[in-house]
Amino acid sequence: MELDLGSLLHALIPTWNSVAVLGVYFGYLAIAGSILPGKVVSGVTLQDGSRLHYRCNGLLSLLLLVGLLGVGAQMEIVSATVISERGLELLSATFIFSVVVTMMLYVAGRLSKNKVSSLRPHVTGNLIEDWWFGIQLNPQFFSIDLKFFFVRAGMMGWLFINLSVLAKSIQNGTLNQSMILYQSFCTLYILDYFFYEEYMTSTWDIIAERLGFMLVFGDLVWIPFTFSIQGWWLLRNNVELTTAAVIANCFVFLLGYMVFRGANKQKHDFKKDPKAPIWGRAPRVIGGKLLASGYWGIARHCNYLGDLMLALSFSLPCGISSPVPYFYPIYLLILLIWRERRDEARCAEKYREVWAEYRQLVPWRILPYLY
């Protein structure tokens, strides 16, 4: 046990190689995000009437980086398995980076005198709360919106961890149907995220959450390193699935995707054009503010149901012999119930009687007839 613990602690110590990997990665994203072409999307109107603008070129940035790394691997300039071989030290290096960044954000926020809504400091006086939740809504670094940048880095990081695990599986000669299913589902989900990247600009994290340790750690550490647990587990465990299990897994993924993407698209389209038809009909709107048609007429947080089904589909290729690969869907269930409660409280305060009417019309929170 002492040897194992010692080896684990040694593997967690960042090296200059891991620092260099992170530096090159963040540097590429900063440059590519600034110069590559992409649709410029206006964010929601903030309290002072201002709007931020986002260059949604994440998909092009991702595909270009995958291509560059592929060429580099073929020329033996970079190793396709570097992340899978240095996963723990990259984890600790990213964690340290997250702590340092949030300390800098805290100091910058406390010193800021800016009156613009996106940069106005919100100081509670509680050190832990201000550090955890952040002080500024949309802090920037050399005109880069850090909140948008970090979530992009985390989602891409998740894919690159998976691809490195896949390369290691091929190198080891252990690639099987379960790994292919897991990799396929995650890759489709991440590519879809960047294809619809503009939808991210209207999510609660972007429009309402301040940038503190909660979001920075969540984006840079939690998303890429915990959402990929199934891949790491499959790398060390051989799982053989029946044909029925494969079909059922695909069904869960497709149904989850339909609900998740459909609900988010309906909400995004409604915010852009409140009269846009939903499922071929004029939308039902409560109090001129709340959409009560389509998926949003079935459950008040129906997008969470799709998200949970997708998370489950990422874990099902691992079989049921261990609870470890199910960490992500279990965690997500707890998170989304907590978040749904926060959403309910905020909406009740913001919309008052309109929200009460919506709750009466749509009584189900996430899963119709159950919750």
3 state SS of 53: strand
Instruction: Give the closest residue to 104 by CA, choosing from 129, 140, 154.
Output: 140
Owner of token pair 């279990």:
330
Residue 1: predicted pLDDT = 37
**pLDDT (tens digit per residue) in 105-141:** 999 999 888 878 778 888 888 899 999 999 998 899 9
**pLDDT (tens digit per residue) in 56-110:** 999 999 999 999 999 999 998 989 999 998 888 999 999 999 999 999 999 999 9
Sign for the CA dihedral angle at 241, 242, 245, 249 comes to positive
pTM here? 0.88
User: Quick check: 268 pLDDT over 80?
Assistant: yes
- Beta carbons of 109 and 146 less than 8 angstroms apart: no
Helix (H) or strand (E) holding 168: helix 146-172
Helix (H) or strand (E) holding 39: strand 39-42
